[in-house]
Structure 1
């Protein structure tokens, strides 16, 4: 079954590698590109569900597709609740597995793109001076230039200079985009004085 699945994936141009036990998979060097794991419920010395739990506990985002000849409803529900892409019962149609692999690789590719974008945003934020970060956070929280100037002990003109510099360094084309980036970074501080109860 292991070799058959690898051959099937390779037949459509997907680079596939088979593993006969959990340890071999865990110690292998994985590709930096999109990937997924086709996983049997029953494994030598372990279970596919236990491996899925381990990957989840280690924050390993690899998409998982389960295949099994011994399925029951609670097992499939548990796998899907834990984030499995699909749960196929043997014998399954080759096309069903290929479709699940294609969906998994698309999702993982999208995740990798998002991670790279998030990393780029963090790198740009870290390249700013502390005052630019403070002004960006305060402005994104909805504070006016006068409020920010009073809090930071600088002039409104200086606030506008820092805000403009923050927009340039964060590559924000508008103030609204700067606010979105600040929220993405999680740096917007709620001002309780302006909140309604």
Structure 2
């Protein structure tokens, strides 16, 4: 196993998991030649022990290995909520295995021996996808924090605003004055960091919680 020191703020790491030492060395050398950080592992168990969801990057994962195979390792990543993009490699790949891997969320499947540039292209694509996923997750977490600052009454007002109801209707439904609704509305917009209801709708609907709730309704 070849690991580099890291911190939560590190640049992306390409994790290479293959039981063949020559493959780990050659792929590691290839990826490092582009300036990317690399960590290599001889088994899926070693990789899973070292991996955590906070670390950005992608995984180049062999399918057939002693012990836990690549497909099983992919399932473990999913169970742990680790969304690192996976690129499968195999010297014994077949169509059924490739389909299973992609259906489970793998970015791609390359059969050994593969073209160096093809692998690098997929690695860079995987890192772009991971960066985008993390950016979206961070944005949603920020919105969730803002939502938590709302009082129960402000949430009631906000949800009715999202439904397109005007102040008078909201006041009637909540059995409060229109002025009270106006005050709550202003507080909701301020806490959510938006200037109007249209912006509020776009912001809240960007979260899975409200998007699914109102779509289901």
Q: TM-score, normalised by structure 2?
A: 0.82
Higher mean alpha-carbon deviation, 28-37 vs 8-17, is at 28-37
Structure 1 runs (4+) greater than 6 angstroms displaced: none
Q: Take 1:142 and 1:175, find their aligned partners in 2: how far apart are those partners?
A: 9
- What stretches of structure 2 of length at least 5 have no aligned partner? 1-22
CA distance in 2, matches of 1:160, 1:102: 49
The answer to whether residue 155 in structure 2 is matched with residue 133 in structure 1 is yes
Contact residue 52 and residue 82 of structure 2 kept, 8 A: no
**Map of 1:92-111 to 2, 5 A cutoff?**
92-111=114-133
- Aligned pair partner of 1:124 in 141, 146, 164: 146
1:22: which partner in 2? 44
The CA deviation string for residues 123-149 of structure 1, in whole angstroms up to 9 with x for no partner, is 111112222211111110122211211
Match status 1:177 vs 2:194: no
Q: What does residue range 55-66 of structure 1 map to in structure 2 within 5 Å?
A: 55-66=77-88
What is the alpha-carbon root mean square deviation over aligned residues?
A: 1.9
Give the SS at the match of 2:206: helix
- The Cα of 1:33 is off from its aligned counterpart by 4.6
From 55, 58, 67, the equivalent of 1:36 is: 58
Deviation at 1:29, TM superposition (A): 4.8
| 1:81 paired residue among 76, 95, 103 | 103
**Distance (whole Å) between structure 2 residues aligned to residue 80 and residue 29 of structure 1:** 21
Cα distance in 2, alignment partners of residues 171 and 165 from structure 1? 10
CA contact (8 A) 1:136 1:182 kept: no
Say if 2:107 and 2:126, in contact at 8 Å, map to a contact too: yes
Which residue is 2:188 aligned to? Answer: 166
Q: Is the 8 A contact 1:20 1:44 kept in 2?
A: no
Aligned-partner SS, 2:158 = helix
Deviations 1:77-97 (A, max 9, x none): 111111111111111111111
Q: What are the within-5 Å matches in structure 2 for residues 46-61 of structure 1?
A: 46-61=68-83
User: Which residue, 6, 25, 29 being the options, matches 1:7?
Assistant: 29
Residues 89-108 of structure 1: per-residue CA shift (max 9 Å, x gap)? 11111111111100000000
